Chain A
Amino acid sequence: MKQRPAADLSELPTFGLGPRSPTWWGTLAFMALEGTGFALAAGAYLYLAYLSPEWPLGVPPPNHWPGTIVMLLLLASVVPNHILNRYAEACAMVPVRIGLLVMALLGIAPLVVRWFEFPALNIYWDTNAYGSMLWVLLGLHTTHLITDVGDTLVLTVLMFTRHGYSGRRFGDVGDNVFYWDFVVATWIPIYLFIYWTPRLG
């Protein structure tokens, strides 16, 4: 077919941040599907709790302190996370590097506390269905935590190389910020499920 020029795109920028970039939408889609997984696992927990006359099956409720500390650490990390986002939008290299280092540490810290959360559940996965669901929920969230911390670490190293000086990389930082918010947000319901529903009665 013959063609006739009708629009000139030569002046368009070569990268866009946030919702202007496809990666942001891809991240959002992955959040949607992982969030569905979380919701279904939580639904399974509720379903079993609803069916069982004496949930949590005669087991003492878990010690909530390690989980609460993780919650506090994660909530605190949201502030530097968004400061980092601001700098990533401005493509400012030095503050972005510092911010990534801070976020890497703020990712590792809850992971360390997480190690103590599993024994604090006071039950094993193979004791009964209640124990299984606690381990599944905690395991699911831990997988996401590990994944995002790994991603942050690699990105931090990357931003210290010459590859960092590109709009695309700053976009990656923004998407990492976005995903970390998701990891924090999903912990709130799971935390309540694990530590506070057994205390309801």
Chain B
Amino acid sequence: MSSADLAHERDLAQQRAAAQKGDLAPEHDGPRDTGLDDASLDRWLARTWQTAPGIIGALSSVDHKIVARRYLITAFFFLCLGGLSAVAMRIQLSGPERGLIGPDRYNQLFTMHGVTMMFLFAVPIVQATGIYLVPLMVGTRNIAFPRLNAFSFWIYLSGGLFAWVSFALDMAPDVGWFSYVPLSGPEFGPGKRSDVWAQMITYTEVSSLAVAVATIVTVLKQRAPGMSLDKIPLYVWAMLVTSFVIVFAMPAVMITSTFLILDRLVGTHIFNPAEGGDVLLFQHLFWFFGHPEVYIIFLPATGMVSSVIAAFARRPVFGYLGMVLSLISVGFLSFGLWVHHMFATGLPKLGASFFTASSMLIAIPNGLQIFCWLATLWDGKPIVRTPLLFVFGFFFTFVAGGLTGVMLASVPLDLQVHDTYFVVAHFHYVLIGGSVFPLLGATYFWFPKITGRIMNERLGRWHFWLAFIGFNAAFFPMHIVGLWGMPRRVYTYPAELGWGNINLFITAGAVVLFLSFVLFTINLVHSALRGAPAGDNPWNAGTLEWATMSPPPNYNFAHIPVVTHAEPLWAERDTLPVATGLRVDVRELVISTVAEAHPDVREKSATPSIWPLFAALAVGATFLYSIFSPWAVVWGAGPIAITLIGWFWPKGDPEDEE
């Protein structure tokens, strides 16, 4: 392939002429990578793209890999907190009338568990994985809007800490993770607990939206030359669709939580039926976000599964086009299902039937994906390593969860088991099966890329079997005890009901599951320090992240790859075609066209900056203050404006000026 295929020479000439007409400072030029030997190329690029040493340097970093690593560690930390709160709940429930945890603390525990798992673990960790992998997989040097990305991390970290500090102060939300009115409204929710929920949600979703925008633009505009739409890795497709779902779903929860705090803080009546408001409006708005949320967690997991399966079956995933179309249709359909969370509210019959039908419809594209994966494995010669074991665990668990989901989509059954442990069992099968198992598989799969070392296989197998057995032991009996009538969100139950033994069994399962995570942590630490060196491509996989070193250098690729195939490393086994002509003294990367990925512009990527951190602090302080006074918005505006100006004002780097 020659450069003429990739860039339309005639357009270029025209653009140059146009640019020369205007009032532009004369264009600077600097050394290019063309013809540089490998050692000096590495020296140049490593200096240009480095994160400065020292604490200020670290706080200013905009390297997507560094930001992603922080995200991953923080999300893992919140998983531990969420898991510990689950263990505490399970110990309290292990027998009838135990006095370990009182009702008030229990309410805070299940709320914090749900909020932490959904908003501080599941969504951030899939986005963080994307922050790390998407730029590598599309063959670029940094994520789009790197400073926005850094900003999002500080928002996420401070929002999560804020929630858990309020728990330590006995001020944590106690009204369930979806915080329904009227329970959370001004009349029945005294104190600041529901305000903590509302502002923490609005605040952390800012970070999720920021990452979604950065991901979308990275995928649309920063793909390596030649990576047309039909050559994008399935994982990247999944992240793209997920990011679009986030863009259209997250505003709904921000509107919900903002309405809630307005009702509580300044006396609006949006959810107050006495003054023309409506409580069900809360549920509609919340679940307009809440159902897509499940797919925000699940779609990236399907992308991970596709990557793992392709690598271990040693062939591309069967039915690429079908896979992409089902990802997109799941994205669309996920917005048509929210009412199935509200069947117990007495909606009109016809409406309910519509949502039953659409809830069953979404099983079709999901089923299609599963068949494509099975076909891939069937046709390939799969090598069963730990990542693939977790994919099998995902198949089994997710299908089971999907079955109970189809059951719940029928209104009469839902009315029967509404708010019982049947529902708790169902959504843990979907969430843990559909997202945690794939994530664990993905960890074993991409850990070598991130650390340069392979995770211990024997510990990995132990981990898998402990997790799989523990999980099913903990959650399968919940279906049964739910059908017996045990409600969710109760801190205890009387002995006469006879639920004691089964609950003890459930708790034992939860402890086994917990131990599997201890083993996992040991494996992570041990392998990061002592694991076998991985090399660039330990699994002989086909996508671009494996074309560079493990861990990748700060500039990702010495030369931007040129893509001719959906699995570029399988198409070009010995030499990788690359592009040349980029500057090495400034942060330059390639902007390409949306559909064909023709290289179009040599764009500068933003340099490190401390201002995103300051902006996050200003925004965070404003949100914190707004729990106590609406004037926070007025007082906060000044500092926020100043930090944003500091962020965007050019400092004289070539990256800013040219």
The interface of chain A, by Cβ under 8 A from chain B, is 1-16, 19-22, 25-26, 29-30, 32-34, 36-37, 40-41, 44, 47-48, 51-52, 55, 57, 90-94, 125-133, 135-136, 150, 154, 158, 163, 165-168, 170
Contacts and interface: CB of A to CB of B under 8 A. Distances in A.
B591 A16 contact: yes
B646 to A, nearest CB: 11
A168 B591 contact: no
Interface string B136-163: 0000000011001000000000000000
7 contacts: A9-B3, A9-B602, A13-B19, A33-B248, A40-B255, A47-B284, A52-B276
B576 A2 contact: yes
Contacts of A90: 18, 21-22
A33 B575 CA distance: 42
Contacts of B168: none
A167 B641 contact: no
Given A40-B252, A132-B268, A10 B575 contact: no
Contacts of A13: 12, 15-16, 19, 601-602
Given A90-B18, A132-B277, 9 more contacts: A8-B579, A9-B581, A10-B582, A44-B281, A48-B276, A51-B278, A130-B276, A132-B263, A132-B268
B209 interface: yes
The 4 closest A-B pairs by CB, nearest first: A91-B22, A10-B581, A6-B577, A132-B268
Interface stretch (B105-113, B352-360, B649-657): B649-657
A37 B248 CA distance: 9
Which residue, of A3, A11, A33, A94, has the highest number of chain B Cβ atoms within 10 A?
A: A3
B104 interface: no
Interface in B1-49: 1-3, 5-7, 9, 12, 15-16, 18-19, 21-25, 27, 32, 34
Contacts of B657: 163, 166, 168
B160 to A, nearest CB: 22
B579 A166 contact: no
Which residue, of A8, A16, A127, has the highest number of chain B Cβ atoms within 10 A?
A: A8
A100 to B, nearest CB: 14
B581 A14 contact: no
Contacts of B214: 26
Given A4-B576, A10-B581, A128 B251 contact: no
Interface of B: 1-3, 5-7, 9, 12, 15-16, 18-19, 21-25, 27, 32, 34, 144-145, 148, 209, 212-214, 216-217, 220-222, 225, 247-248, 250-252, 254-255, 259, 262-263, 266-270, 272, 275-278, 281, 284-285, 288, 536-537, 547, 558-560, 562, 569, 574-582, 590-591, 594, 599-604, 641, 645, 648-650, 656-658
A129 B275 contact: yes
Contacts of B23: 91-94, 165
Nearest to A150: B641
Nearest to B252: A40
A45 to B, nearest CB: 10
Given A3-B558, A32-B248, A36-B252, A9 B579 contact: yes
Nearest to B582: A9
B95 to A, nearest CB: 45
A154 B645 CA distance: 8
A1 B536 contact: yes
A125 B266 contact: yes
A10 B16 CA distance: 13
A19 to B, nearest CB: 8
Contacts of A12: 7, 12, 581, 590, 599-602
A22 B218 CA distance: 8
Contacts of A34: 251
Nearest to A135: B268
B578 A6 contact: yes
Given A37-B255, A52-B276, A26 B144 contact: yes
B600 A16 contact: yes
A7 B213 contact: no
Contacts of B284: 47
B579 A20 contact: no
Contacts of B270: 44, 48, 129, 132-133, 136
Contact of B580 (A8, A92, A131): A8
A40 B263 CA distance: 17
Contact of A44 (B5, B221, B259, B590): B259
B276 A128 contact: yes
B648 A154 contact: yes
Contact of B578 (A4, A32, A37, A167): A4
Contacts of B559: 3, 5
A25 B592 CA distance: 13
A154 to B, nearest CB: 6
A29 B576 contact: no
A87 B658 CA distance: 19
B580 A10 contact: yes
